[in-house]
Amino acid sequence: MFEVFLSRLLTVPAALPGAVAQGLIWGIMAIGVYITFRILDIADLTVDGSLCTGGAVCIMMMLMGCNPWLAMLIATVAGLLTGLMTGIFHTFMGIPAILAGILTQLSLYSINLKIMGKANQAINVDKYDLVISLRWVKEAVLGNPLIMVALIIVALIALLYWFFGTEAGCSIRATGANPNMSRAQGINVERNKVIGLMVSNGLVAFSGALLCQYQGFADVSMGRGAIVIGLAAVIIGEAVFSRIFRNFALKLLSVVLGSIIYYVVIQIVIQMGLDANLLKLLSALVVAVFLALPYWKSKYFHGKRKTPKAKEGAPHA
Amino acid sequence: MLELKGLYKTFNAGTVNEKRAINGLDLTLEDGDFVTIIGGNGAGKSTMLNLISGVFPADEGTITLNGVDLTHLPEHKRAKYLGRVFQDPMMGTAATMGIEENLALANRRGRSRGLGKGITREERELFRARLATLGLGLEDRMTSKVGLLSGGQRQALTLLMATLKKPELLLLDEHTAALDPKTADKVLQLTEEIVARDKLTTLMVTHNMKNAIQYGNRLIMMDSGRVVVDIKGEEKKNLTVRDLLEKFNIESDRMLLSE
């Protein structure tokens, strides 16, 4: 029994690069989730659909002979539009954010099928010029996802760090932190929510565009449960790094690291022989427990908390 | 000049909970008026301020400020003209953002927010100087998160934010009611200093009769969604709590309870 365990454990290092690569790609998606969940204080379920939209648009563009970078750009724009859809549902039509996301997600299922023409589309790494691929994960080439995606993430974090430091970016952060105060300071809260949802889903779709190249196909169910993976990455990143990473750029980095940790742990668990069908159950339960922790802390240990988090936007008496 | 004409506001219209909060309200403020507003619970004081600031629309009537018709403008557009401090100290500032970041947001009230820097170096200097006038030592903690401040500090900061860009009208909605008496006095003192320095037209709702008499050049009492008493000039200067109670005992029961 122990020998079986040990021999399985020895296979882990060989699988690590793949797990880290997946973690990096999903890390971009998790940054998108961070923007809605942490900055805007909205749980946006659009991502389950927009991840696939990104993959579907990217792969179809590339199959038509489009340059891969241009295909990824167009996929990102498609992601922005999915965020716009949720944003309109939420602000203009007054639908609660979670429900707005679910509605978009459901409609994206049809849209994604229409984009691809069928449930999945494959792309051959030998015939097409891919930016990254699973095949190069252990090679010293730029197309190695470990190198390429890491570079992309550095650029993205720099871009987001700059954006959230601008007047517009600050007003989006304020919108999530305290909508009452934001309105009193002349900030268009509705518009900022839409912009935040768009940026978030743009990132998610971009991540989907990378993912479809990495795995060599796009599938209509590739985004199922994406929100849970994104939340897991955000929560793990915060749990592990929040004490040392205070700067905004480092917080975004911790989300990516959280995603990598998530995928490495999942990889180990699978190699240890866990039934892969149970993975989503396991992920959901882990995320549920981590989401419960702050609540339990405030309920049972409120006297011992070191840094009480102020409750925002309490209703005006 | 602020002009409220024929304002009506009913909540939960057509239900058993129907509440006519503002009932044909007319009020005109001259430039530089510092008006204190008293009235029992449910008299319509906060509703009036919320109608002016656009938290919800009026059912009828018009709101004009210095010739601009605010009646149909959304809340964030009216913010250009208004400075607001709320009763709840948590409401006027963003807890998870720094002191200077909050001030920078306030410094852009009424301006479009583009891709320029969220805070400039010159602004930091300005904020440091303005924070120093509060006398709370906040100028040395500019990057601290506002969530770490006390209620009084947060109200003082909100007051500073509301007046950083000179507003055409300052709305104070029981802004010291949630503070302990000493802190409340300090914040009121600051309020008076700032209002006098910038000659701000101000509406201040209070539950405290003494404060209502002590501050401002005009006092109004509201009841059932209307102005029932309006005292200004010399009469206001010589006013005492006793006068107020004797002259206008219509509302005194509830006022005393809530004093």
Q: Is A175 an 8 Å CB contact of chain B?
A: no
Q: Are A82 and A136 within one domain?
A: yes
Beta-carbon separation of B46 and A171 below 8 A: no
Residue at A310 is within a domain = no
- As a whole number, mean pLDDT of residues B179-188 equals 91
Nearest neighbour of A166 by CB, restricted to B86, B105, B117: B117
Residue at A234 is within a domain = yes
Residue indicated by tokens 């206008």: B248
Of A200, A222, A244, the residue that ends a domain is A222
Nearest neighbour of B105 by CB, restricted to A166, A171, A314: A171
Q: Are A52 and A156 within one domain?
A: yes
Q: Are A193 and A255 within one domain?
A: no
Beta-carbon separation of A165 and B118 below 8 A: yes
- As a whole number, mean pLDDT of residues B207-228 equals 91
Report d(CA A219, CA A102) in Å as an integer.
19
Q: Are A88 and A208 within one domain?
A: yes
| Residue ranges making up the domain that contains A89 | 28-222
Q: Is the ipTM of this complex over 0.85?
A: yes
CA Rg, chain A, in Å?
20
Of A195, A222, A249, the residue that ends a domain is A222
Residue at A12 is within a domain = no
Say what the pLDDT of residue A317 is. Answer: 34
Q: Are A204 and A248 within one domain?
A: no
- Mind telling me how many Å the CA of A281 is from chain B's nearest CA? 33
Residue at A2 is within a domain = no
Q: Are A173 and A216 within one domain?
A: yes
Q: Are A155 and A293 within one domain?
A: no
Strand, helix or coil for residue A219? strand
Q: Are A44 and A166 within one domain?
A: yes
Residue at A137 is within a domain = yes
Q: Are A42 and A163 within one domain?
A: yes
Beta-carbon separation of A185 and B108 below 8 A: yes
Q: Which stretches of chain A drop beneath a pLDDT of 70?
A: 1, 302-317
- Tell me the pLDDT tens digit for each residue of B126-148: 999 999 999 899 999 999 999 99
- The pTM of the full predicted model, rounded to 2 decimals, is 0.90
Report d(CA B26, CA B5) in Å as an integer.
5
Mean pLDDT (chain B, rounded)? 91
Best residue in A185, A188, A307, A311 for a mutation probing chain B (most B CBs within 10 Å): A185
Residue at A6 is within a domain = no
How many distinct structural domains can be found in chain A?
2
Residue (of B215, B213, A241, B214) closest to B229 by Cα position:
B213
Q: Are A102 and A178 within one domain?
A: yes
Q: Are A250 and A191 within one domain?
A: no
Q: Are A82 and A156 within one domain?
A: yes
Of A183, A205, A222, the residue that ends a domain is A222
Residue at A210 is within a domain = yes
Say what the pLDDT of residue A1 is. Answer: 67
- As a whole number, mean pLDDT of residues B204-216 equals 91
How is B191-235 classified by DSSP, letter by letter? HHHHHHHHT--EEEE-S-HHHHHHSSSEEEEEETTEEEEEEEHHH
Beta-carbon separation of A182 and B88 below 8 A: no
Q: Which of A222-236, B26-40, B222-236 has the lowest mean pLDDT?
A: B222-236
Closest chain A residue by Cα to residue B79: A186
Residue at A22 is within a domain = no
Q: Is the pLDDT of residue B254 over 60?
A: no
